[in-house]
Amino acid sequence: MAQITEIAPDLYRISVLVSELNLQFNHFLIRDEEPLLFHTGMRRMFPVVAEAVGRLIDPATLRWISWSHFEVDECGALNQWLAAAPRAQAVCGQLGAMVNVQDFAAREPRALSDGEVLTTGRHRFRWVATPHLPHGWDAGMLFDESDRVLLCSDLLHQFGDVEPVTGGDVVGRYHEAVAMMQAHPVLMDYMPFTPQTRARLERLAQLEPRILATMHGSAYEGDGAAALRAAGDVLEQLLGAQPAGR
């Protein structure tokens, strides 16, 4: 059963622990005039996430379905959600709509340009295009300007059955997680460190988020700008200078 935590006013973290992976998958529901779900979850996780959403709203009233980049944990269950919620529409970045979602989604998506705002009622979400951060050409993040929450996808990924929200050392946990992935023969090179990585993180830091709502692990409450800049140090240290042939 999913664990639900309100991490900001009317912003709910719906967390499903996959014990075999020692990993939480977090989905975020914003309860507003036009409810928005960020991360659909995987197709096979749909019944669990839908049950949890149903504890918060009538799932049929869902209006917006969004995510960062095209991957099964981000948007695999999109079409199940579109079937369950007749008024719902996918909303993602222009590039993601163009290269994936216009074809993949059962209904036409709404495509946001970089910096465009989506208003759901009380909440205002700004789409920030972040190509290849955390990964994926189409990557982007939604920033809830109303409550300064950054829906930051795989950034600050942490392993373990951790607390829903922490003010503790998520950057240290992120370092451990990226190092573990990098040591894995298949999962290595989880995120790229590119010439643009620092600048993209700096742009996010300048939003001065007070909560970083990460997809895997605890949401971080505190100086989000400092945590994002420190995440850049982690990525550069672990992935910035790799031996040839990797």
**What is the binding site for Fe ion (CB under 5 A)?**
71, 73, 154, 215
In angstroms, what is the minimal distance from the CB of 61 to Fe ion? 26
By beta-carbon proximity to Fe ion, the closer residue of 41 and 224 is 41
**What tokens were used for 63?**
């209006």
In angstroms, what is the minimal distance from the CB of 235 to Fe ion? 14
Respond yes or no on whether the N-terminal peptide bond of residue 134 is cis (omega within 30° of 0). yes
In angstroms, what is the minimal distance from the CB of 33 to Fe ion? 28
In angstroms, what is the minimal distance from the CB of 178 to Fe ion? 13
In angstroms, what is the minimal distance from the CB of 159 to Fe ion? 12
In angstroms, what is the minimal distance from the CB of 87 to Fe ion? 27
Strand partners, 141: 128
By beta-carbon proximity to Fe ion, the closer residue of 144 and 154 is 154
By beta-carbon proximity to Fe ion, the closer residue of 138 and 154 is 154
Q: Are 141 and 130 in contact (CB under 8 A)?
A: yes
By beta-carbon proximity to Fe ion, the closer residue of 71 and 138 is 71
Give the C-alpha separation, 207 to 127, whole Å: 12
At residue 52, φ and ψ (nearest 5 deg) are -70, -45
By beta-carbon proximity to Fe ion, the closer residue of 67 and 143 is 67
By beta-carbon proximity to Fe ion, the closer residue of 120 and 214 is 214
Please report how many Cα atoms fall inside a 13 Å half-sphere around the Cα of residue 91, on the Cβ side: 27
Is residue 161 helix, strand or coil? Answer: coil
List Cα–Cα distances, 145 to 75, 117, 127, 209, in angstroms.
23, 9, 10, 9
Number of H helices, E strands in the chain: 8, 14
